Amino acid sequence: MSTLTDLYTHGFWRRVGAMIRKEFIQLRRDRITFATMITIPLIQLVLFGYAINTTPRDLPTAVLLQESSDVGRSILKSLENTRYFKVTHQVRDSETFDRLLASGSVLFGIEIPTGFERALRRGDRPALLVAADATDPVAAGSALGALGQLVQTALQNDHAIPATTASAFEIRQHARYNPAGRTQLNIVPGLLGTILTLTMLIFTALSVTRETERGTMESLLSMPITPLEIMLGKIAPYVLVGFMQAALILVAGVVLFDVPIVGNLFLLATLTTLFVATNLSFGYTFSTLAQNQLQAIQMSMMFFLPNLLLSGFMFPFAGMPVWAQWVGESLPLTHYLRIVRAIMLKGSTLMDLHYDALVLAGLMLVAMSIAVTRFRRTLD
């Protein structure tokens, strides 16, 4: 009896060992899966460790100087010396001031009105006007809280006001586009882009690999049709599906969360269609690179993760280091988030959003070119 048990135990571990060796051999052959298992944890570690910052710094700021004075220069110097604000524009008129905020070129606008220095020295407690782009409340909140003390300290150091003065001026804050600071106005437009990115990538990432695994690729390749025609034919139906998804999310956002659509609805629909087509092009590219449906999904998730973390959806884009912002600029979701928030909450026009629209179109063309080049005309 003991001998039979020993034989069974020996056979059991031998069979298990054989299966373990088989899985390691198969894993070694499936290099994409193995690379995904290694790289995803590393990407998450790098992004969360270095790129993600919940206390954003160096936020782009425009300053409208209505007068040239020592006090104005002290305020500018205090802003430039802090890590919260980065003065990127000094403007001379209100129109430019408003346009920079509407286009998203700056997150803050600080106006030093005429007669500010004289009123300050007379003790009249003048007002320093601060306009903040509140479409991203997280990015604006901490900087606004630090602004008053920074300016007060700078003016005292430059002897513009007595050191004992408790509050020589007041700061009038205007949270534009989201005065109540409602998170739904930031989250719902972001969810529109995030959901479309995930679903469009997966839909098309499976398109070519599904044909191959089902054995229908032979019939497709025998037809007098070019790779570009195949790609356009596969993408077109999903553009309609994506448009329907976007319409459903927008209606739900307006009805359930009272999210406004201030801008042109036709412009929003047009640029949403461009964004959908861009993601479909990337998904189709992954389907031409992958050997099976599992690999196609893995590639899609590898692309989706940086989109989610570096686009400004979960964390303030302006607070990321420069290298992370450069990576984010190469991702479609980054530009669409700016577009959808600007149109829905600010009423921005195509002129305000031409840069992001052109980048989306460029990314789509690059992805389409790679997909057509990689498309296999034979079943290798």
Are 265 and 360 part of one and the same domain? yes
Tell me which of 153, 176, 199 is where a domain ends: 176
Residue 288 lies in a domain: yes
Looking at 128, 149, 176, which one is the last position of a domain?
Answer: 176
For residues 93 and 148, state if they share a domain.
yes
Alpha-carbon distance of 366 to 45, in angstroms, equals 29
Indicate whether 28 belongs to any domain. Answer: no
Contact criterion met (CB below 8 Å) for 110 and 173: no
Query: Does 291 map to a domain?
Result: yes
Whether residue 252 is found in the same domain as residue 356: yes
Query: How far, in Å, are 48, 102, 171, 186 from residue 139 at the CA level?
Result: 17, 16, 18, 11
CB 298 within 8 A of CB 281: no
Do 141 and 242 fall within a single domain?
no
Decide if pLDDT at 134 tops 60: yes
Per-residue pLDDT tens over the stretch 325-338: 899 999 999 999 99
Q: Indicate whether 32 belongs to any domain.
A: no
Q: Are 151 and 72 found together in one domain?
A: yes
Whether 12 is covered by a domain: the verdict is: no
**Whole-model pTM?**
0.80
Domain count, the chain: 2
Contacts of 241 (CB under 8 A, 6+ apart): 203
pLDDT bracket for residue 1 (50, 70, 90): low
The pLDDT > 90 percentage for the chain reads 18
Q: In angstroms, how far is the first alpha carbon of the chain from the final one?
A: 54
Q: Are 113 and 163 in a shared domain?
A: yes
CA atoms within 13 A on the CB side of 49: 6
Q: Which domain holds residue 218?
A: 184-374
What confidence category does residue 379 fall into, taking pLDDT thresholds of 50, 70 and 90?
very low
CATH number at residue 142: 3.40.1710.10
Same domain, 307 and 198: yes
Does 125 lie in the same domain as 256? no
| Helix (H), strand (E) at residue 23 | helix 2-29
**84 with 150: CB under 8 angstroms?**
yes
**Last residue of one domain, picked from the residues 142, 176, 210:** 176
Lowest model confidence (mean pLDDT) among 103-107, 116-120, 227-231, 299-303: 227-231
Q: 280-300 b/e with 16+ CB inside 10 Å = b?
A: bbbbbbbbbbbebbebbbbbb
Confidence of residue 66 (pLDDT cuts 50, 70, 90): confident
**188, 150: one domain:** no
